[in-house]
Chains A and B, each alone.
Chain A
Amino acid sequence: MIELPAVQTAVPGTQPDFCFPPYASSVARSPRMPLVLLPETLTEKTGPVFGHNLIRKNDNDLTAQHEGEALGERILVHGRVLDDEGKPVRGALVEIWQANAAGRYRHKADGHDAPLDPNFSGAGRLLTDDDGRYFFKTIKPGPYPWGNHYNAWRPAHVHFSLFGAGILSRLVTQMYFPGDPLHPLDPIFNSIPDEGARQRLVSRLDMERTQPDYALAYAFDIVLRGSRGTPFEGDPRR
């Protein structure tokens, strides 16, 4: 039998294990059988391209999606999306979602006794520009309790979902804020074994981009897996 070339797997320690018992929900939902090396065929070397028509006005300004202004600490979140060769990923779809300033999600399954803000939905999206840059204006999310263990609290975070070039570039992650005392206590954050890899999920206070008398800025760069193959015809991100 001819063996297919396999996709390179992650550097050990830089990604969470599927089963991480301190995060209780992972125990019954993660595979136990050995994972099979993923072959690298045309299926894995290609991927979807998202168009600008998916993005509407104010999709990157979460403070301005309703009649009134959202409550809480206004922040600017920006950064670059790069592939693993350090090249900018152009036209990457970035989708974010988060709790409001009080630590409450606009979702029927969130039972936390904290107020909803009628002027804050907590969702944003955009396509990166030619330098792989993105920019959101939002509200700093609050920490919130969850049921993982007694007195469990999630550190403030923003969920990020990204598509780069090729389906294997797909990444869902979370952005954290610097200096949060909840980091050492959070099993989701600590599911990444390598300290350096973990700290790369913590954004950096960026005084250069901070707008005086208006809003603090946080910088958060994201590195996606590259597509080892040749981009397919018509891929604008070549």
Chain B
Amino acid sequence: MSIDRMIPSGSQTVGPYFRIGLEHLVCKTSVTESAAGKIEIHGKVLDRDGEPVPDAMLEFWGADPSGAYSGAASRSSGYPAGFQRLATDLDGSFVLSLSKPGPTPCGDGRVQAPHLLVLVFARGLLRHLITRVYFEKESANDSDPVLLELPVERRHTLVAACDATRPNVFRWNVILQGNDETVFFAW
């Protein structure tokens, strides 16, 4: 039996003033305070001209180190596990600190390499963009069902690179348009 689906409401941009309403959930990451065992993703959001986007908001959704998606709200703070919201600085930069997610089920018997789903909001984006970030040097990347469906020459745009000197740091930029444009998904 088919269900008559209602049409989801139209999206509109977050605009330049989203911090008024959304900053209360923005994670305040201090790099020096990062807990042991955590990794960091350092990056920038850049536009067509390579200009930093200082008014972007990123939301990350991922599994825990065991590969489980909990999402449960913390009893004390109400903040959900596996979710983080960040806002870019004036130079377009962001730092995400997290416990590295484990491999997760794909849903069809295969396994996905460790990754996070990333939602990108900004003034100028009438709908949010959806992408993923993976981690360099994960052997499971080579058999990840989602990465394998992407054009070979664009896969690297979803893989955070290991920092040259700090083993717990990864580098990943979100390039909204132009050279090396990040792969975004349709929704």
Binds A, one of B32-40, B71-79, B163-171: B71-79
Binds B, one of A10-18, A69-77, A177-185, A210-218: A10-18
Is B53 a contact partner of A29 (Cβ separation < 8 A)? yes
Chain A residues with Cβ below 8 Å from B129 are 18, 31
Other-chain residue from B6, B82, B105, B149 in contact with A86 (beta carbon distance below 8 A) = B6
Given known contacts A16-B127, A42-B106, is B73 in contact with A49 (CB within 8 Å)? yes
Chain A residues with Cβ below 8 Å from B150 are 36
Beta-carbon contacts of A6-40 to B below 8 Å, as 1s and 0s?
01011100111110100101111111110111111
Is B55 a contact partner of A109 (Cβ separation < 8 A)? yes
Other-chain residue from B17, B79, B117 in contact with A167 (beta carbon distance below 8 A) = B117
Beta-carbon contacts of B128-164 to A below 8 Å, as 1s and 0s?
1110100000000000011011100010000000000
Chain B residues with Cβ below 8 Å from A191 are 12, 126
Is B9 a contact partner of A31 (Cβ separation < 8 A)? no
Is A54 a contact partner of B78 (Cβ separation < 8 A)? yes
Chain B's interface: helix, strand, loop or mixed, by majority?
Answer: loop
Chain A's interface: helix, strand, loop or mixed, by majority?
Answer: loop
**B115 lies within 8 A of chain A by Cβ:** yes
B107 to chain A: closest CB distance in Å?
A: 5
**B112 lies within 8 A of chain A by Cβ:** yes
A95 to chain B: closest CB distance in Å?
A: 5
Is A54 a contact partner of B77 (Cβ separation < 8 A)? yes
Is B149 a contact partner of A4 (Cβ separation < 8 A)? yes
Is A223 a contact partner of B7 (Cβ separation < 8 A)? yes
**A105 lies within 8 A of chain B by Cβ:** yes
A151 to chain B: closest CB distance in Å?
A: 19
Q: Sort chain B's interface into a size bin.
A: 35 or more
Is A224 a contact partner of B17 (Cβ separation < 8 A)? no
Given known contacts A54-B77, A107-B16, is B6 in contact with A223 (CB within 8 Å)? yes
Chain A residues with Cβ below 8 Å from B132 are 43
Beta-carbon contacts of A87-130 to B below 8 Å, as 1s and 0s?
00000000111000000011101100000000001111100000
Is A54 a contact partner of B79 (Cβ separation < 8 A)? yes
B81 to chain A: closest CB distance in Å?
A: 8
B106 to chain A: closest CB distance in Å?
A: 5
B110 to chain A: closest CB distance in Å?
A: 8
Given known contacts A15-B11, A51-B77, is B181 in contact with A32 (CB within 8 Å)? yes
Known: A29-B176, A36-B186, A167-B117. 6 other contacts (CB 8 A): A1-B148, A26-B126, A29-B47, A48-B81, A54-B24, A235-B71
Q: Can you give 11 A-B contacts (C-beta < 8 A)?
A: A15-B11, A42-B104, A43-B61, A48-B73, A51-B75, A95-B22, A110-B16, A171-B11, A223-B8, A224-B8, A235-B71
Query: Chain A interface (Cβ within 8 Å of chain B)?
Result: 1-5, 7, 9-11, 14-18, 20, 23, 25-33, 35-55, 82-86, 95-97, 105-107, 109-110, 121-125, 159, 161, 167-168, 170-174, 188-189, 191-192, 197-198, 200-201, 222-226, 229, 232, 234-235
Query: Chain B interface (Cβ within 8 Å of chain A)?
Result: 3, 5-22, 24-25, 47-49, 51, 53, 55, 59, 61-63, 69-83, 104-108, 110, 112, 115, 117, 119, 121-130, 132, 145-146, 148-150, 154, 176-178, 181-187
Closest 6 CB pairs of A and B: A97-B21, A51-B78, A51-B73, A25-B124, A53-B78, A48-B80
